[in-house]
Amino acid sequence: MGVPLPLPVPGRRWFCRTIPLAVIALLLLYLSAGSLRPISSCRIGEQYCIAEELPPSQVQQQSGLLEALGQEEPLCLGPQGTLGRLMRPFRASLNPEGDVQLSQYLAGWRELVKFLTPLGSIFAFATSEAFSKITALEALVHGPDASHYTSLAAMEEWERRAGLLEQPGSAPADPAKSSGSRTLLLLHRALRWSQLCLHRVATGTRRGPDASAQCSDAYGTALAPHHPWVVRQAVRVAFLAFPGRARLLELACPGTREAEARAALARGAATLEDVYNRTQSLLAERGMMQLA
């Protein structure tokens, strides 16, 4: 199942969205390459800045601007809100035993795809690729061996015993036959880029770079060092079609003021970071980072 491309619009957006599909396809081949770097710090002294490598508790405190302002929680964080629907399954995937529950993780990813799809052609391609991996993992979670695919740890243990894991540095001839562990690793790396983008949009300064620059910078931090020149240039052009910060905040938290929307989006990004950090730790402990 793919994600329909947005219709061309005049001017710069038309130019950006007519980038050859073959070039963007190259981007998708490299989206999950290499290990990723930590979040870079934003400018010190700004109201919405979350400093680099803060403990999760401090991140939650600084993103809790709604309580500090005495505001009621916006609808976007509620049961039917865009961010609420995204955050709940991702939070539920972090079980008390320190593992990641796969069914909830994939439910969170489905909501993340819904959120990212309207954000421009670059995310349309990326989310289409992510959707295929979500579907592949769901087939395992609900398939004949479902008892072995309840969590990340259970999946890795089963696939290792069954000889299903790829050798480090090798890739299956048919991507559809990838192990569940390898497929999850690719999703995990894509989650990092998404989390960095949303975090920087939420915490960036009002007079600083716009959303396009923030998310392009996130790409530069997370993936560009692992990509060839042609892919980096294609991404650079594609980001010119990215929506502005105001549009992104409106999509994330409709009908709220900027401060509330930023705080809500920061909460969403912090949830994604918690999931990323838990998953990263599990993958590293089990020697799974070299599967792709």
Q: How do residues 11-50 score in pLDDT, each as one tens digit?
A: 444 334 444 333 333 344 344 333 333 333 333 223 333 3
CB 194 within 8 A of CB 112: yes
Task: Please indicate, yes or no, if residue 173 is contained in any of the structural domains.
Answer: yes
CATH number at residue 121: 1.10.3520.10
Cα 25–chain centre separation: 18
**E strand residue ranges, the chain:** none
Q: How do residues 144-180 score in pLDDT, each as one tens digit?
A: 999 999 999 999 999 999 999 998 777 777 777 899 9
Task: Please indicate, yes or no, if residue 12 is contained in any of the structural domains.
Answer: no
Task: Please indicate, yes or no, if residue 4 is contained in any of the structural domains.
Answer: no
Task: Please indicate, yes or no, if residue 6 is contained in any of the structural domains.
Answer: no
Task: Please indicate, yes or no, if residue 7 is contained in any of the structural domains.
Answer: no
Task: Please indicate, yes or no, if residue 217 is contained in any of the structural domains.
Answer: yes
What pTM was computed for the model? 0.75
Helices then strands, counting H and E runs in the chain, come out as 13, 0
> To 10 degrees, what angle do helices 121-141 and 180-203 make?
140
* Residue count (the chain): 292
Task: Please indicate, yes or no, if residue 9 is contained in any of the structural domains.
Answer: no
Tell me how many domains the chain contains: 1
66: domain range? 19-285
C-alpha 211/C-alpha 202 separation (Å) is 9
Residues of the chain with pLDDT under 50: 1-70
